[in-house]
Amino acid sequence: MDINEPNQHNAPFNHLAKMNLVQDSAQSAILAQITQKAERKLKLRWILAISSLPLFGIYAAFGIAPQSTVHNIPTATVIEEITLPTMSDTTANVAEQSFWYKEHVRRDDTLNTVLSRLNIYNRDAIDFIRNDSAASEIASALKPGRTIQAQTDSEGNLISLKYELDAGQFIAIKQTDTGYEASKVAQILENRPILKSAEIKSSLFGATDAANIPDHIAIQIAEMFESEIDFNTDLRRGDHLSVIYEGNYEQGELLTTGDVLAAEFVNNGKIYQAIGYRDDSGKMQYFTPEGKSLHKSFLRSPLEFTRISSSFSSGRFHPVLQRLRAHKGTDFAAPTGTRVKASGDAKVDFVGVKGGYGNVIVLKHDNGVSTLYGHLSRFAAGLRKGEKVVQGDIIGYVGTTGMSTGPHLHYEFLVNGQHRDPMKVALPKAIPIIGQDKLAFDAISQQLTAQIRLLGNSNIAALE
Ligand SMILES: [Zn+2]
């Protein structure tokens, strides 16, 4: 059982988060402010009460002693009179004396057992939960694993309660001046950016694991810079990563993480930056801080970046016969089954088996460019000659068919039949941000670039 400390020990911030329970964020902020004020007032009163005690004591002793023989007033009454005004302030009283309990429904739970684990003992609350039309839904919806939270005073009187129904829905019960009230509320998530930075020691995932950055954020970073950096092969020890991404909190607890808002990657001394901007459809797109597209007409690597492909040791891979067509391609070591992407927009020119290449795909791009993907274990379902593909489409899977001694992708990039360096031919893919969007983007970019730079610099400073 999680028994939270009485609220008087909680920092105001924590308290604010907890008051989010049944309020929308604006209301709760106001409520928290009121409560904080009440707390401050209360503390002040306590100080006044305590500091006036000795004086009062002297006064009492002076004033009451002669009368006590007549009226027999115990001194304790005098002290209670001093503390009484603070107890009459119910808001402050609640804030000062409440306890939070969080429980998970167990397989054999009944409403009774749950309420007793939550330390709810007052009859009127129990009756309300049993009989109120909205609140009684708790009893009929008790499902193992669901969370139920309650706030009570020190005597076990329920102040507020929250029970999780289906996705994002809660039953909330709160104490009011006239009794209890129950309502169905939607989950309130607070969106706050998370700032992290990491140093690469062995791999991207090694670094993100150490910094407690989720995998989907690591993959998003690899994808946003994929035209520039191949995260499977280009990383160097000492490379730096700084990232700002979305965090969705509920009552101060991180529930889910969203998209990357901004990232900076220092690879081999070169700085790459990306700023996220949501387009009209709500999809996050990434640009340079100046608003130029980060994506080029060809990818740095046609392999999908995953935890498995990134941890595949290239040291174990023995390059195949260099005789294979004078070997003008690039060999990417990767486990069998790793997904292979079309490195640019194209038309499928060939799918099938061809000599030493084994299962091979040839794509025909604009301007006389073609790309070739060899030794595949299989092709994407239904891939046919003449079909159009766009950059990033999965076209096949790594294998070791044809003349090959281990699973790898043999990749060739040709311009008018001549082998060329794909990165020398790659052009910016998308149009830069312009017009109205540019103004909005610039404001976001300025702020995020400053933050990400600060993160990057503090990281470097910490190392020196
Ligand atoms: Zn090869």
Residues 316 and 414 placed together within one structural domain of the fold: yes
Span from the CA of 421 to the centroid of ligand 1 (angstroms): 15
Rounded to whole angstroms, how far apart are CA atoms 381 and 83? 78
The secondary structure of 430-454 as a DSSP string is SPPP-HHHHHHHHHHHHHHHHHHHH
Q: Give the pLDDT of the chain (464 residues) as one tens digit per residue.
A: 443 333 333 333 333 333 333 333 334 444 444 444 444 444 433 333 333 333 333 333 333 333 333 333 333 333 333 333 334 344 444 445 678 888 889 988 999 999 999 999 899 999 999 999 989 989 888 888 888 989 998 888 999 998 988 767 889 999 999 999 999 888 777 889 999 999 999 889 999 999 999 999 999 999 999 888 888 888 899 899 999 999 988 778 888 899 999 999 999 999 999 999 987 777 888 999 999 988 889 988 899 988 776 665 444 444 444 444 456 788 888 899 999 999 999 999 999 999 989 999 999 999 999 999 999 999 999 999 999 999 999 999 999 999 888 899 999 999 998 888 887 788 777 778 887 788 889 999 999 999 988 887 765 544 44
Residues 346 and 445 placed together within one structural domain of the fold: no
Say which amino acid occupies 98.
S
In sequence order, what are the beta bridge partners of 360?
A: 352
CB burial of residue 130 (10 Å; 0-12, 13-18, 19+):
middle
Span from the CA of 270 to the centroid of ligand 1 (angstroms): 28
Give the pLDDT of residue 46.
39
Span from the CA of 330 to the centroid of ligand 1 (angstroms): 6
DSSP reduced 3-state for 269: coil
Which of 72, 97, 122 lies at the terminal end of a domain, its last residue? 97
**The domain spanning residue 148 has which CATH number?**
3.10.450.350
Span from the CA of 246 to the centroid of ligand 1 (angstroms): 40
Span from the CA of 442 to the centroid of ligand 1 (angstroms): 44
Span from the CA of 404 to the centroid of ligand 1 (angstroms): 8
**The domain spanning residue 391 has which CATH number?**
2.70.70.10
Residues 132 and 145 placed together within one structural domain of the fold: yes
Rounded to whole angstroms, how far apart are CA atoms 443 and 54? 60
Residues 217 and 256 placed together within one structural domain of the fold: yes
Residues 6+ apart with CB under 8 A from 294: 224, 225, 227, 228, 274, 286, 287, 288
Which of 97, 115, 146 lies at the terminal end of a domain, its last residue? 97
Give the pLDDT of residue 65.
33
CB burial of residue 413 (10 Å; 0-12, 13-18, 19+):
buried
Span from the CA of 269 to the centroid of ligand 1 (angstroms): 29
Span from the CA of 272 to the centroid of ligand 1 (angstroms): 29
Span from the CA of 410 to the centroid of ligand 1 (angstroms): 4
Residues 327 and 269 placed together within one structural domain of the fold: no
Residues 446 and 381 placed together within one structural domain of the fold: no
Residues 247 and 165 placed together within one structural domain of the fold: no
**Element counts in the chain: helices (H) and strands (E):** 12, 21
Span from the CA of 73 to the centroid of ligand 1 (angstroms): 100
Span from the CA of 448 to the centroid of ligand 1 (angstroms): 41
282, 284, 287, 289 alpha-carbon torsion, rounded to 10°: 90
- Helical pair 12-19 and 25-71, crossing angle rounded to 10 deg: 110
Residues 315 and 414 placed together within one structural domain of the fold: yes
Span from the CA of 366 to the centroid of ligand 1 (angstroms): 24
Span from the CA of 306 to the centroid of ligand 1 (angstroms): 21
Give the pLDDT of residue 282.
78
Task: From 180, 182, 149, 181, select the one nearest 164 (Cα to Cα).
Answer: 149
Domain with 367, as residue range(s), is: 307-425
Q: Give Dmax (Cα) for the chain.
A: 118
Span from the CA of 300 to the centroid of ligand 1 (angstroms): 16
Are 18 and 251 within 8 A, CB to CB? yes
Span from the CA of 409 to the centroid of ligand 1 (angstroms): 7
Are 23 and 17 within 8 A, CB to CB? no
Give the pLDDT of residue 213.
94
State pTM to two decimals.
0.59
Span from the CA of 235 to the centroid of ligand 1 (angstroms): 21
Q: Sheet containing 378-379: which strands, arranged edge to edge?
A: 339-341, 394-397, 378-379
Rounded to whole angstroms, how far apart are CA atoms 208 and 274? 17
Residues 92 and 104 placed together within one structural domain of the fold: no
Span from the CA of 105 to the centroid of ligand 1 (angstroms): 57
Residues 313 and 276 placed together within one structural domain of the fold: no
Give the pLDDT of residue 390.
94
Beta-carbon-side half-sphere exposure of residue 77 (alpha carbons within 13 Å): 7
Span from the CA of 324 to the centroid of ligand 1 (angstroms): 7
DSSP conformational letter for 225: T
Rounded to whole angstroms, how far apart are CA atoms 81 and 78? 5
Span from the CA of 164 to the centroid of ligand 1 (angstroms): 55
Span from the CA of 296 to the centroid of ligand 1 (angstroms): 24
CA quadruple 23, 25, 27, 29: dihedral sign: positive
Residue 2, domain member (yes or no): no
The secondary structure of 127-190 as a DSSP string is HHHHHSTTTTHHHHT--TT-EEEEEE-TTS-EEEEEEE-STTEEEEEEEETTEEEEEEEE---E
Are 60 and 114 within 8 A, CB to CB? no
Q: Which helix (H) or strand (E) holds 22?
A: none
Backbone angles phi, psi at 157, to 5 degrees: -85, 130
Residue 271, domain member (yes or no): yes
Which residues keep their CB under 5 angstroms from ion ligand 1?
A: 329, 331, 410
Span from the CA of 337 to the centroid of ligand 1 (angstroms): 17
Radius of gyration of the chain (CA): 33
Question: What is the token pair recorded at 463?
Answer: 């190392």
Span from the CA of 405 to the centroid of ligand 1 (angstroms): 10
Task: From 245, 342, 250, select the one nearest 301 (Cα to Cα).
Answer: 342
Number of domains making up the chain: 4
Span from the CA of 419 to the centroid of ligand 1 (angstroms): 13
